Structure 1
Amino acid sequence: MVRDYSRFFPPADTGAPAREPDALQRLGWQAFFIRQAGHLDLAATPPLRVSEVQRSGLTALGADGEITLPPMPGVTVGDWLLHDRARPARSVLLDRRSLFRRRAAGTGREEQLIAANVDTLFIVSSCNNDFNPARLERYLALAHEAGVEAAILLTKADASEDPGGYADRAKAVARQVPVLTLNALEPGAAARLQGWCGTGQTVAFVGSSGVGKSTLVNALMGAGAAQTGAIREDDSRGRHTTTARQLHLMPGGGLLLDTPGMRELQLTDAAEGIAGVFADIEALARQCRFRDCGHDSEPGCAVRAAVDRGALEPGRIARWRKLLAEDRFNSAALHERRARDKAFGKMVRNATGNKAKRRDG
């Protein structure tokens, strides 16, 4: 589907000076990317930002509007490219300011890129049975690892008898992270998010299906921006209504990345992100008598002492251990796959070289 973004860019026939820099700034073009472009002729290799990735190709936005490109490996939504007009498949992928990634869903050992160059991650949950501290911690670790600011949005506040209680539970696992309770259907919901949605700022939404992400997209973009689905009362879950990650220009000046519900978020190479989410436990662990303390029954364990005096919830320790174990397993599996692929590539190159030598000899 081709979207009409013409209202965001200056008319081509006004005779006014070129305004490409303004249009690119609206897309998030900034000094970090300008430095990479160096002294290149941007008229010949114009910057484009990827707004959608499909198997058949890419959709990207630039100063002149929307363009379709052939598939490019290793490219994800939010990436910046320097577009090679003559050979689009050879367009240059610029370094990223931030990158969300995970182990691909299922039993495979592939890494999946989620989104690039995001400024703020809105973690959406709801004030009902969908609320899950462990899931919040996973998303927060994802944000910490990417170096992206996070904010937690608790929807369905109007349908809850105790929205403040849900907010307190979120704050307990998300220290120094903003937590907002809201009703996405109220006119003021979008206004409460505007501080993160300034010109050129990119925000992304993650969370389970049916918690109100698409409704918030509508609030920021205007009605009809994303198809919404109703939550079923029996299990508080909704149908999966968003099927592809897409980057949208918001009328207020920012950019919005809507993502499908991630049913199987698994962390990979996210040790620093986990440490950031569980900074309180990490600080206690450094005070233990033994460096290799398992935080079970060892003498001088500062972590167990905090649990015993009621300063630390046992469940939080269990979730910390679970994420660390998952990250170690996934990271080892991914590194094994990379090493195997590297060895296979070397074998192919050697075989090709030997064949050429025999032919020439």
Structure 2
Amino acid sequence: MSAPSLIDLGMRPFFQQQLSLEELEHCALGRVIELHKSEVVLLAGDEPLRFPLNPNHDPLCVGDWVVFNDERLVRGLERQSLFQRKAAGSANERQLIAANIDTVFIVSSLNDDFSLNRIERYLALAKETYVEPVIVLTKADLCADADAIRQQVQRLDALLSVHCVNALDSNDIDLLKGYCQRGKTLAFMGSSGVGKSTLVNGLLGHDAMETGSIREQDSKGRHTTTYRAIKWLPEGGLLMDTPGMRELQLSDAKDGIKLTFAEIESLAEQCRFSDCQHINEPGCAVLHAVETGALSARRLDNFQKLLREDAHNSATLAQKRAKDKSFQKMINSVQEQARAMKKNR
């Protein structure tokens, strides 16, 4: 097996144009394939390279392109796409998920854990970053009405690619291999236990990722992937598996939400009032569509829920950024005063 070239790893003019002449002469480029608490793993040739993480650098993410030399990481390049979410729990922080992704497989199993609302949430995240979403519905061999559920998902967007698969069937895996092209990076996202790691193993052709079972009482899975990692496919493309996410809080994803619910946005243009909230206003075209059955009440409810969540989280994070900026300004001011006093002694 030959070592992957930079083109195999996803290098393109967007990234090359960010390099200075000095960096071209004295540094090298690598792709972040693993990220741990204290170190980062790069792929830039035959063997992975490990570097300690510098807490003073901007946060890195799996999928990032970085400039490095023999001694250290120099800097990360601007990202072409970035998946992020509000960190789980109450912390007012953003969590970086994956960078520079071309296609995201949104994986949902055809068992009791199936949820159109959750798929719409992932779609909003994908559309916010202008990454191609592909819906993969797993465990089709265990579902009697798999095609009926597939049609429910297809109705979310007529142009959406939707596949029902048995992750252990090589013919079904071959359907997904068409997305694995040279230089393209694919990410798998979904809840725990939906079969992401089994799909990754099928596409790689060997058991690179641990797989696990699901709880029978609620069809919920256990985490088998514990960190994000990129795997190189010799026939073309890179695969990223991500830990299952029970909680995917959206922030700064308003445009992605509106693109995901494009038909509601289109209907809203026909409302009597330009600031219509589609709750109980007279002349609301959106509510009329619900009453006539042209739009499902579930879809409208989820649209409004995601917009409220995004607005809340975005405001909370913006407040934290402002607070952090103010605190940093105070530190800089104190340091400047200390330097001035020292100089005048």
Q: TM-score range by the shorter chain?
A: over 0.9
Correspondent of 2:51 among 66, 69, 93: 69
The answer to whether 1:37 aligns with 2:19 is yes
Report whether the alignment pairs 1:277 with 2:260.
yes
1:229-265 alpha-carbon deviations (Å, 9 max, x no partner): 1233332222211100001101321100000001110
Instruction: Tell me whether 1:164 sits opposite 2:147 in the alignment.
Output: yes
For the residue of structure 1 that corresponds to 2:18, the secondary structure is helix
Deviation string, structure 1 residues 189-218 (Cα, Å, up to 9, x no partner): 221112211011100000111111010000
Residue 24 in structure 1 maps to residue 6 in structure 2: yes
* Residue deviations 1:116-157 (CA, integer Å, cap 9, x gap): 000000000011111101100110001001110000000010
1:121 aligned residue:
104
2:170 partner SS: coil
Instruction: Please report how far the alpha carbon of residue 63 of structure 1 lies from its aligned counterpart in structure 2 after TM superposition.
Output: 2.5
For 2:268, the aligned partner's letter is A
Alignment of 1:1-361 (within 5 A): 7-9=1-3, 23-37=5-19, 39-40=21-22, 42=24, 44-72=26-54, 73-86=58-71, 88-89=72-73, 91-361=74-344
**What is residue 16 of structure 1 aligned with on the other side?**
none
- How far apart are the structure 2 equivalents of 1:176 and 1:255? 24
Give the Å deviation of 1:43: 5.9
Q: Output one character per residue of 1:138-177: Cα deviation in whole Å (capped at 9) or x when no partner.
A: 1000100111000000001011110011101111224421
- Kindly indicate whether the alpha-carbon contact (under 8 Å) linking 1:44 and 1:85 is maintained by their aligned counterparts in 2: no
CA distance in 1: counterparts of 2:340 and 2:237, whole angstroms: 57
RMSD: 1.4
**2:174 and 2:227 mapped to 1: Cα distance?**
26
Matched-pair contact (CA < 8 Å) for 2:165–2:173: no
* Alignment size in residue pairs: 341
Equivalent AA in structure 2 for residue 328 of structure 1: A
Q: Deviations over 1:3-32 (max 9, x none)?
A: xxxx331xxxxxxxxxxxx71111111111
Quick one: which amino acid aligns to residue 264 of structure 1?
A: E
Amino acid at match of 1:208: S
**Structure 1 unaligned residues grouped into runs of 5+:** 1-6, 10-21
Work out the CA distance in 1 between the residues paired with 2:123 and 2:143.
Answer: 24
Matched residues in 1 for 2:326 and 2:336: separation?
15
What TM-score, normalized to structure 1?
0.91
Give the whole-Å Cα distance in 2 for the aligned partners of 1:168 and 1:356. Answer: 68
Describe the SS at the equivalent of 1:324.
helix
- 2: CA distance between counterparts of 1:99 and 1:61? 19
Gaps spanning 5+ residues in structure 2: where? Answer: none
User: Is the CA contact 1:57–1:69 (under 8 Å) kept in the aligned structure 2?
Assistant: yes
Shift of 1:38: 5.0
What residue number does 1:14 align with? none
Kindly, what percent of the aligned residue pairs are identical? 48
Deviating more after overlay: 43-52 vs 323-332 = 43-52
